[in-house]
Amino acid sequence: MDSNRGQGGIQLLLAAEQEAQHIVNAAKSAKQARLKQAKEEAEKEIAAFRAHMEAEYQKKLAQSSGDSGANVKRLEAETEAKINHLKTEAARISHDVAHMLLRHVTTVKN
């Protein structure tokens, strides 16, 4: 009778081993499915980010080189405004600067 009980124990161990193997295989399959899903989601996010960055790049490219005539006119207007500002500032303080220079040149120090 001991041999029957031994055989039954072995059968129980084999059945438990098979069940454990099924559980491990199911876990591996679930893990692979999750990894595949995560990879697909990451690829979608990368594609969306790449499209967004490409759109921004094209927009900046169009702004910088799209209508070069307008850019030239804009830059000329900005330059002219800065030149006029510098001329008015120079005219405003030139008398004071000339007076200061004249005072330093004519002052004698020992």
pLDDT means over runs of 10, the chain (110 residues): 70 93 96 95 95 92 70 88 95 91 84
Domain ranges, ordered by start, for the chain: 1-66, 67-110
Task: Report residue 52 CA to chain centroid gap.
Answer: 11
User: What pLDDT is attached to residue 42?
Assistant: 95
Does this model's pTM top 0.75? My answer is no
Question: Could you give the CA distance from residue 56 to residue 63 in angstroms, rounded to a whole number?
Answer: 11
Nearest-angstrom CA–CA distance, 9 and 2? 10
Task: Quote the CA–CA distance of 41 and 22 in Å, as a whole number.
Answer: 28
